[in-house]
Structure 1
Amino acid sequence: MESKTVLYIILASIVALGIVVFQYIYKQKAKSKIYLLLAFLRFIGIFGLLLLLINPQFAQKTYTLEKPNLVILADNSTSVAENGKELNNIISKIKATKELSNRFKITDYKFGSDLNILDSLTFKGKNTNIHNSLSALKDVYAREQMVTLILSDGNQTIGEDYSYFKAERNNTIYSMVLGDTTKYKDISVGPIQTNKYAFLKNKFPLETYVSYQGNTPVSVFVSVKMNGKIVHRENLKLNSDVNFKAISIQVDANSVGIKNLEVKVSPLAEERNIKNNRRSTSIEVIDEKTKIALVSDILHPDLGALKKAIESNEQREVSIFKSSASKNVLEDVDLFIFYQPTAKFKQSFDFAKSKNANTFIITGSQTDYTFINNSNIGIEIENGYPQQEIFGLLNNAFTKYDTASFDLTDFPPLISDAGPILITSPFETLLGTQIKGLNVQQPLLSVIDENSSKRALLLGENLWKWRVQTYRNTNEFINFDEFIGNLIRYLTSSKNKSRLNVDYEKVYQGSSNAVITATYFDEAFLFDQNAKIRIQVTNKEAQKSQTSPMVLKNGYFEADLTNLVAGEYEFIVSVEKESKTAKGTFVISEFDMENQFVSSDNLKMEKLAVNSGGKVFYPSQIEDLINDLSTNKAYVPTEKGTENIVSLIDFKKLLAIIIIAFTAEWFIRKYNGLI
């Protein structure tokens, strides 16, 4: 307590005593015991009030002994499973050493792809991220002295290069290298790069590489298999200088379905690890041909030109039908092209409208414009006009897709007898109309986007002449075919809204990233976070199923399938108390990145330790490690003092005493008739 505060307390007692003496001794001139009691009570009350105003405080110091942290980081990935017993023994010995427990506060963690508290080591981690674990500890022990001991083989599969990790000044890193550090002769296959999907009867690329570790020249065979059948094979000669060979091939997609691809290199005679001699992946070959119905009751060269242009993309299939075609043959059609429709087209028009299908209407000299106007499709065309030649003008302001590559140079005119047109739905002009050199501000080709359906309208025939002119200009049909192809792609790109949507990969490289997500919307198409969604996953080969709920995350539901083994699976996602379901299939390829290493990476482990002021050790040097930690003067407990400012008085108790003193004084004076 400060001397100034003590003086204030003495002064307060003098003031209180002075007031009491003046009131009860000097002024009252009475010596009875009652007056002495009243004087005492008055003194207590006044002195208490003055103490409340002074509020005397004193400093209370406490001292604690703070130990530095010894943080053990144990690798829990599959690559150290063979050294698991040794790793557990090292941890047990460190924690049982009395010198270390007296000097350090020991905590232990395990890591794979993420950092966790060490309860037990399973060695089932599919990935190793040393850098991420060290970064997480940096935040946990930001203001405390720590020594990090990392026990690992040093083989990291994901994340930033840990050898460049920059430790804080309060952190010294020691590393102990597990496993065999000897550099053995080894040959391995790198990651396979290919598409997720391939179209039927097309070729798809496959790229990978073969790397060699060794000094003597070797000759090996590399084979690429698709569903067990060899599709490529070559011989490689490698040595210490030429130790890398890229493989780049084109594979034929001859049938629909999921295709398992495997790249395998023949093992060396003295090779220790042959698990990295093969890599596998999968690709799905799909036949997503867009089925297009070209409906016409007349024979015209335009039909052949359109069919050729559209089918220049092998994923599109055009069938020519009469307007009287039955609903059964039109059921699977994705896009309807009505060529010069008349009243006979009513059945096919109504069917397309009932399916909410996209349409492309082409008019000409034999078109019934009255039928189109009465079809309630938002288009009105005046009729009764004579046939005339019309030229196309490309609209450079068209925004639906890029048309800059289309060239109309020297294109002949089309023939049309259509009058002025009124389109009552939102539309954009793709080609304008030019008649006798004058832009008449009428669309020749326009696209109409209304709600969930799309339509295109072309007011002219003899498109075949445009395709012929394209060939005359460039000796190929690409200019015209791509123009029509882009229009068809736009007309077939619309998707129906679905309340239940599932997002997943067709192929997962190992099970470590096998996750399926789903979103579910109510009838107003608002995300329904209260929905209960379940997923049933079935292994096709074993015919074993597992059902589990999907977990609500931030705006979606998720199913974690990392516990699945390699194989082909099918799944069904369902919503409780709803009829909504979604189905799909996927493949988990057999791949474990942790098995791709031949030996431990002691060089990186040493670099990590040295950069932070620590050292690298090996399991046989456990005693040296313990001795270094026990005797290093940089790691000693420190005494820390904490000073707390504490009030000398308890305000509640003192206030109670003051109230009691004044109250007792008042009652005694009242009882004795002194008031």
Structure 2
Amino acid sequence: MFVLKTVSLFLLLLLLINPAIKNVENENTKPVLAVLVDDSKSISFFKEDKSIQEFLEALQKDKSIVEKFNVEAFSFGNKITLLDSLSFLDGNTNVYKAISTVNQLYEGKIAPIVVLSDGNQTVGNDYEFINAKQKIYPVVFGDTVLYKDLKISQLNVNKYSYIKNKFPVEVLLNYEGKENVTSQFSIVKKGKTIFTKKVQFSATNNSKTITTNLTSTKEGLQYYTASIRKIEGEKNTKNNTKSFSVEVINEQTKVLVLTSVLHPDLGALKKSIESNKQRSVSVFLVDEFKNQINDYQLIILYQPNNSFNKIINDIKTSNSNYFLISGANSDWNFINKNQLGISKNALRQTENYGALFSNSFLTFLQKDIGFNQFSPLKDQFGEVSISREHQTLLFQNINGLETKQPLLATLEINNQKSAILFGEGLWRWRSASFLNSNSFQDFDTFIGNLVQYLASTKKRNRLEVAVENLYSDASVIDISAFYLDKNYQFDARASLEISVTNTGTKKVIKVPFSLMNNSYQTEIENLGPGDYSYTVSVIGQQIKKHGKFKVTENQIEEQFTNANSTKLLKLAEKTGGKLYFKDEVDKLKKEILADKSFYTTQKSIIREQSLIDWKWVLFTVITLFTVEWFVRKYYGKI
């Protein structure tokens, strides 16, 4: 019983003290062999899909390789993923992204990289200049023979053009070959050739840049096809054609100037406004104007008096936008009676008003072009009152005294925009601006900004959709939408859906949007070539946005004539690796198995374990106390 008691108490005290016991374990870590497999369409185009799968299996099933390395396989195209299966359907190749992702994944580890690819990259940074700490072993798949080839490397064009304007097109042509060749470049619209040019290439003169200006003749979305004619012996002609689109806008602004007096300001306004070719100005004495104001987007009322009565009534009825300019000959009693939201207690005497620029003006973006240095404007003296919500661009400066009285202000109510300038003499401002900068541009831009704001009748939409006009069938179609609530604040609670219809086959697909940050995003894949219309709708709301786009047959992965072994070789040399070809799997295995820099690392791991975690010790203590109790009970000691 003494022994039982002693051992029990000893173990119990040991548990209470709870000492930590340290164990040292050795752990071996094999190097990783990362195998990147090109899963893009170019592999199947070169008929290398079977070869690349056999090469991969030869690495994964080799016992020596598996004993030395942890083999990790990845497939890549536009993105990189753990290899599950290979389809060779990805429309783009990003070798740079694949290598950099693996570099980050195995940072600080021994992880040589084997790249099974044709070396042709269509998107992303140039992988030839990647900074990789791991050795890279590219394996070339595809034809390495060089063929003669003409291609359109790049095409630059503006997305928008105004009707009857010319827009520039810039095309970069490239030739691969040693012979002198002649071809013809052309641009076609709806089957009609609208531009053609003969081009010649040689081994040394292998690049041409063609620039031309095309005329926008029809409003709306216009599609064009640029092509370079095939030469003899050319194997791949899919890179000889490239489509592009231009949206032609018909937004010529017509401005009407009605005046009660002849004044130099009228000429200055006309020249400034018409400095933009998309704007035209008609000037009439108010008594001689017989047309309809609805033919104009903006009416400028210059020094109005009683003869403007009908015009102002028409403006009120039609809710037209207007710009009122007062001066020494204005009739302020008439203006005040018409309740335009502005009034002035004018006296018969005149005053000169200098300009003071307001940095807090928010209606549109306007920089200070030196307004305070311009000659004062002349207007009748009196206090100005504006009863409607307004923004002041220029304040009055009277003989050096800065005031809070507006000189130029904008007003907006019930979708009607207006502005008021309290003073005549704008022609002096235009002249002073020219003397300051040797150009009328600053002043003309100022007037242009004001006219653009006043002439625009466009309302802000609660649903805006960002869609390109033209896609290739190899690309993923990314569409984003921006939805606002009734207070024009971004609404993250909505559910959006896009319905896409092929206008030829009438096939319809519907795809929901996902909320990402402060916008809604969706992706549509595998749309075949054709014309499509779309409708983006807010579920549960009568809010929709319609549009159209075109998908062209442009397999970018099939535009290469051969594998890019030269670039893969540079990649291998830069990283300390070596280039191999598809029939050299045994040489590759021998190389990486013999490389002593790929070694298994061993590290010691010290693990601490508390004695209280040993449940058998507690069980032993309970058992000893139990045995002692029964022994005492048996001998009658209890």
Quickly name the TM-score band, shorter chain normalised.
Answer: 0.7 to 0.9
Q: 1:153 aligns with which of 106, 118, 126?
A: 118
CA 391–280 in structure 1, closer or farther in 2 if over 3 Å, else same: farther
1:405–1:366 distance in 2 versus 1, CA, 3 Å: closer
How many angstroms apart in 2 are the aligned matches of 1:611 and 1:372?
79
Whose radius of gyration is greater, 1 or 2?
1
How far is 1:72 from its partner?
1.5
| Cα displacement string for residues 252-310 of structure 1 (whole angstroms, at most 9, x for unaligned residues) | 1121122223322222211122222222211111112335455x485857767755643
Aligned to 1:92: 57
Write the deviation string for residues 363-415 of structure 1: whole angstroms up to 9, x where unpaired.
356644245335555422123515x5x66745466665135288998x8x977
Query: Is the aligned partner of 1:142 residue 2:107?
Result: yes
The structure-2 alpha-carbon separation of the partners of 1:167 and 1:459, relative to structure 1 and needing over 3 Å to count, comes to closer
Distance in 2 of aligned mates of 1:305 and 1:648: 96
Match in the other structure for 1:223: 186
**CA distance, structure 2, for counterparts of residue 187 and residue 344 of structure 1:** 68
Once the two structures are superposed, what CA deviation does each residue of 1:452-503 show, in whole Å capped at 9, x if it has no partner?
A: 8753212356868988999999999878755532321243468644332222
* Contact persistence 2:356–2:372 (CA under 8 A): no
Q: How is 1:395-410 mapped onto 2 (pairs within 5 angstroms)? A: 395=356, 400-402=365-367, 404=369
Contact 1:445–1:456 (CA<8 Å) still a contact in 2? no
404 and 588 in structure 1: CA distance in 2 versus 1, 3 angstrom threshold: farther
Contact 2:356-2:402 within 8 A present in 1 as well: no
Give, in angstroms, the shift of residue 580 of structure 1.
Answer: 1.2
Say if 2:81 is the partner of 1:116: yes
Report the counterpart of residue 214 of structure 1 in structure 2.
177
Equivalent AA in structure 1 for residue 119 of structure 2: G
Structure 1 44/560 Cα, relative in aligned 2: closer, same or farther at 3 Å? Answer: same
Letter in 1 for 2:60: K
1:428 paired residue number: 392
Say if 1:282 and 1:587, in contact at 8 Å, map to a contact too: no
Aligned to 2:485: 522
TM-score, structure 1 as length reference: 0.79
Map of 1:101 onto structure 2:
66
Amino acid paired to 1:193: N
CA distance in 1, matches of 2:435, 2:138: 73
Indicate yes or no: 2:32 matched with 1:69.
yes
Contact between 1:337 and 1:360, CA under 8 Å: does it hold in 2? yes
Summarize deviations over 1:182-205 as a string: whole Å, max 9, x none: 222222222111111011111111
- Greater per-residue strand proportion: 2
- Residues 177 and 602 of structure 1 are in contact (CA less than 8 Å); yes or no, is this contact kept in structure 2? yes
Shift of 1:54: 5.2
CA RMSD, Structure 1 to Structure 2 (Å) = 4.2
Residues 67 and 637, structure 1, Cα contact 8 Å, conserved in 2: yes
For residues 345 and 571 of structure 2, what CA distance do their matches in structure 1 show? 82
Indicate conservation of the 8 Å contact 1:385/1:419, yes or no: no
The residue type paired with residue 225 of structure 1 is V
User: Residues 104-503 of structure 1 correspond to what in structure 2 (within 5 A)?
Assistant: 104-168=69-133, 171-292=134-255, 294=257, 296=258, 306=269, 309-317=272-280, 334-339=297-302, 340=304, 342=306, 343-345=309-311, 347-351=313-317, 358-364=321-327, 367-386=330-349, 388=350, 393=354, 395=356, 400-402=365-367, 404=369, 416-417=379-380, 419-423=382-386, 426-430=390-394, 445-448=407-410, 455-460=418-423, 482-492=445-455, 496-503=459-466
Q: Which amino acid aligns with 1:113?
A: N
What is the deviation of 1:606?
1.6
Residues 534/273 of structure 1: CA separation in 2 closer, same or farther (3 Å cut) = same
TM-score under structure 2 length normalisation: 0.83
Structure 1 letter corresponding to 2:408: S
Q: Distance in 1 between matches of 2:611 and 2:42?
A: 63
The question of whether the paired residues in 1 share the 8 Å contact of 2:156 and 2:169 is answered with: yes
Distance 2:439 2:619 in 1: 105
Structure 2 residue identity aligned to 1:258: L
* 1:505 is aligned to 2:468: yes
Mapped to 1, the partners of 2:63 and 2:476 lie a distance apart of 43
- Structure 1, residues 230-265: CA drift from partner, whole Å, max 9, x if none? 332222222222222211222211211222233222
Classify 1:664/1:617 alpha carbon distance in 2 versus 1 (closer, same or farther; 3 Å): closer
The superposition leaves residues 43-63 of structure 1 with CA deviations (integer Å, 9 ceiling, x where unpaired) of 244212332255455554555
Unaligned runs of 5+ in 1: 1-36
Give the letter for the 1:446 counterpart.
L
Secondary structure in 2 matching 1:599: coil
Distance 2:395 2:106 in 1: 68
Query: Matches of 2:66 and 2:254 in 1, distance apart?
Result: 75
Query: Contact conserved, 1:196 with 1:507, CA < 8 A, in 2?
Result: no
Measured after TM superposition, the shift of residue 662 of structure 1 is 6.5
Q: Tell me, in whole angstroms, the C-alpha distance in 2 between the residues paired with 1:595 and 1:547.
A: 29
SS at match of 1:122: coil
Secondary structure of 1:79 counterpart = helix
Query: How far apart, CA to CA, are the structure 2 residues paired with 1:467 and 1:54?
Result: 94
Specify whether residues 292 and 534 from structure 1 end up closer, same or farther in structure 2 by C-alpha distance, changes over 3 A only.
farther
What CA distance in whole angstroms lies between the structure 2 residues aligned with 1:136 and 1:472? Answer: 59
The answer to whether the 8 A contact 1:87-1:151 is kept is yes
- Conserved 8 A contact 1:153-1:179: yes
Q: Deviations over 1:345-380 (max 9, x none)?
A: 55334346xx5x653112356644245335555422
State the distance in 2 between where 1:297 and 1:229 align. 49
Identity of aligned residues (%): 34
AA aligned to 2:496 is I
For the residues of structure 2 that align with 1:202 and 1:665, how far apart are their CA atoms?
Answer: 108
State the one-letter code of the partner of 1:261: Y
- Match of 1:586, SS? strand
- The whole-number CA distance in structure 2 between the counterparts of 1:647 and 1:444 is 82
User: How many residues get paired?
Assistant: 623
Change (3 A) 1:112 1:476: closer
The residue identity in structure 2 corresponding to 1:580 is: I
Q: Deviation at 1:98? A: 3.3
Offset at 1:150? 0.5
For 2:500, the equivalent position in structure 1 comes to: 537
Distance 1:40 1:319, change over 3 A: farther
Contact 2:254 2:281 in 1 (8 A): yes
Is the contact between residue 428 and residue 446 of structure 1 (CA under 8 Å) also seen in structure 2? Answer: yes
Q: Equivalents in 2 of 1:648, 1:440: separation in Å?
A: 85
Could you tell me whether the CA contact under 8 Å between 2:93 and 2:123 is conserved in 1? yes
1:597 matched to 2:556? The reply is no
